Structure 1
Amino acid sequence: MLKIQVNKLHTLTGHNDCVYALTEGSDPRFFYTGAGDGMVVEWDLDLPKDGKLIAKLPHSIYALEVDRERNLLIVGHNFEGIHVIDLNENKEIWSLKLTDQAIFDIKVFGNEIFVGTGDGLLIVVDIEERSFKKHIKLSSKSIRVMSIAPVKRQLAIGLSDHSIKILDLANNFQPIANLVGHTNSVFALSYSPDEENLVSGGRDAHMKFWNSDNYTLSENIVAHMYAINYLSFKEDGKFLVTCSMDKSIKVWDAENYKLMKVIDKARNAGHGTSINKVIWSTYSGQVISISDDRTISIWQIEAENL
């Protein structure tokens, strides 16, 4: 039997508003945060206290994504579009005015950037041409979150209309499936590392496991008290973490659908308000979380055999 041990390593401060966006760098030793204060900050897991400001924009930032191949950071700038920062130079090299809506998520695949907007548009941008390529209207409600299965070449999109739409990246974004099961907005979505499962979570506090061969529902768990804001798999696929508006982080056995650990303020000096995103670092195996409380926490999470 496994027991999960949790140790809070660091609390990082510097943002002046709720921290909404989080992504790992091309070199996963580094990670990036974006916040309501318009600041984008680079953090170093080896020297975590030394955050480095790399951009300051006028509006909130809900979405960040790294193009690992070119070492670019794509910043979703609400009501404007995207700003692209060369991480080798730490300077903006181009930007595109795409939308007057909020941008909730961004993904990179090959030579394309996918931008999900508050009015249900999937905007496709050509990285080499630095230009708008196409837009696909998926809903009148917001696109909240996206996940890519690179081997299957499929894109999963969670929306505020309670649905998850699966598009075929090998066949010009043709629809593959429309998953209906959540009773409110879908905020959290991730393919497992082996791409066999798609896991979703949302405002209804349910976490659902879908078999990605046929997109049938394998498991439904009432996972939190309030909205599940995000989820992230450990690199080996055995565990995942969820974070919630209920101020807790939960560690799950992803293979057996079992809750392994609750991390919160009372037990672990966790966040005091809603936790917006969480990632399981591929560099250190640590978990990084960001919150409305304006802080970033770094957690050591170890599984021990009893």
Structure 2
Amino acid sequence: MLKIQVNKLYTLTGHNDCIYALAEAPDPRYFFTGSGDGMVVAWDLDNPADGRLVAKVGHSVYALEVDIEKNHLIIGHNFEGIHVIDLENQKELWSVNLTSQSIFDIKIFGNDIFVATADGVITVVDRIKRSVRKHIKISEKSVRVLAIDPSRNYLAAGLSDHSVKVFDLQTLQPLHSLNAHTNSVFALGFAPNAKIMVSGGRDAHLKIWDTSDFSLKESIVAHMYAINYLSFREDGRYFVTCSMDKSIKVWDTETLKLLKVIDKARYAGHGTSINKVLWSTYNQQIISISDDRKISIWNLEF
């Protein structure tokens, strides 16, 4: 059995409300958090004690995405739209008023910014023309999470109608509608270097999909309560899930075995729902954010 040593390195504070959004910067030494207080903060993994305010908006921030090529940060501003920040000059370049709904996720591919909203729409924004290219209505319920697999040309969306929908990334034509969850889908990811997609949600189950035909490979009772997010390690060998049950779990991608549980009792983890988790490509540490207004940084030794 693989042994994993867990060390909690830092607990970072500064947000005044639940922390919902988490994204790695173009330089992965840094990461960003967004909160119900409307603040977007940059943190340095080498000197994590002090965050730096990047932006302050009028409503909650549930979604952040980075444009690595242009060194921009895209902020999802609930009930408004997106704001694009030039990270070099630390100023807003442009914004688009998109929606009167919550913005749950943002992903970028090529010149397209995909924005997932509570009205069941994926809005496609052209980052060059700085304008809306397309609205894709895919459900009457919220689009909660997006995932992109550029190598196989897939865009996937997890929805509050319990489904996962898969589209052709180039044409945006629908390819599959996957119906195995019994509640909202919040967590979604394509495994690097493996032909699987993993989904999770309010039903506390992980569903493992074979991306050659999107057949269901396995269903795992993974947490006590809702699975809020998942993140693969850069090499794809492992992934982590986080949950409303206040725990982070580490999984083996190939065997799908549970390797470690990180929680409050054993490792002084978060005291409330963990909303997002990120496996850093900078130093392979794990970053987690929570309703407890705290950011935790974890080191795992395999």
| Bin for the TM-score computed over the shorter chain | over 0.9
1:111 maps to: 111
Q: Does 1:199 align with 2:193?
A: no
CA distances 1:17-62 after superposition (whole Å, capped 9, x unpaired): 0000000011100100000000000001001112000100110000
Q: Distance in 1 between matches of 2:286 and 2:255?
A: 21
Q: Does 1:91 align with 2:95?
A: no
CA distances 1:97-121 after superposition (whole Å, capped 9, x unpaired): 0000000000000011000000000
Q: How far 1:126 moved relative to its partner?
A: 0.3
Give the aligned residue type for 2:254: E
Q: How far 1:2 moved relative to its partner?
A: 1.1
CA distances 1:169-220 after superposition (whole Å, capped 9, x unpaired): 12x2011111000000000000001251100000000001100110001111
Q: Distance in 2 between matches of 1:69 and 1:209?
A: 31
CA distances 1:276-296 after superposition (whole Å, capped 9, x unpaired): 000000001000000000000
1:226 maps to: 225
CA distances 1:213-268 after superposition (whole Å, capped 9, x unpaired): 10001111000000000000011111110000000000111110101110000100
Give the aligned residue type for 1:143: V
Q: Distance in 1 between matches of 2:216 and 2:206?
A: 11
The secondary structure found in structure 1 opposite 2:4 is: strand
1:47 maps to: 47
Give the aligned residue type for 1:93: L
Q: Distance in 2 between matches of 1:103 and 1:13?
A: 24
2:141 maps to: 141
Q: Distance in 2 between matches of 1:198 and 1:285?
A: 21
Give the aligned residue type for 1:42: A
2:265 maps to: 266
> Taking structure 1 as the reference length, what is the TM-score of the superposition?
0.98
Q: Distance in 2 between matches of 1:121 and 1:165?
A: 12
Q: Distance in 1 between matches of 2:182 and 2:4?
A: 31
Q: Distance in 2 between matches of 1:112 and 1:195?
A: 25
Q: Distance in 2 between matches of 1:85 and 1:132?
A: 18
Consecutive unaligned residues in structure 1, runs of 5 or more: none
CA distances 1:124-152 after superposition (whole Å, capped 9, x unpaired): 00001000111000000000000000111
Q: Distance in 2 between matches of 1:153 and 1:72?
A: 24
8 Å contact kept, 2:241–2:249 = yes
Runs of 4+ in structure 1 over 6 Å off: none
The secondary structure found in structure 2 opposite 1:37 is: coil
8 Å contact kept, 1:149–1:195 = no
Q: Distance in 1 between matches of 2:284 and 2:136?
A: 36
The secondary structure found in structure 2 opposite 1:267 is: helix
2:176 maps to: 177
2:208 maps to: 209
Q: Does 1:20 align with 2:27?
A: no
Q: Distance in 2 between matches of 1:89 and 1:9?
A: 31
Give the aligned residue type for 1:243: C
Give the aligned residue type for 2:156: A
Q: Distance in 1 between matches of 2:193 and 2:102?
A: 31
8 Å contact kept, 1:28–1:281 = yes
The secondary structure found in structure 1 opposite 2:41 is: strand
8 Å contact kept, 2:194–2:236 = no
Q: Distance in 2 between matches of 1:60 and 1:165?
A: 26
The secondary structure found in structure 2 opposite 1:266 is: helix
Q: Distance in 2 between matches of 1:138 and 1:183?
A: 18
8 Å contact kept, 2:200–2:229 = yes
The secondary structure found in structure 1 opposite 2:140 is: coil
Q: Distance in 1 between matches of 2:172 and 2:97?
A: 23
Point out the more displaced range, 192-201 or 215-224.
192-201
CA distances 1:68-120 after superposition (whole Å, capped 9, x unpaired): 11111000000000000011111111000000000000000001100000000
**Identity percentage over the alignment?**
68
Q: Does 1:286 align with 2:285?
A: yes
8 Å contact kept, 2:34–2:64 = yes
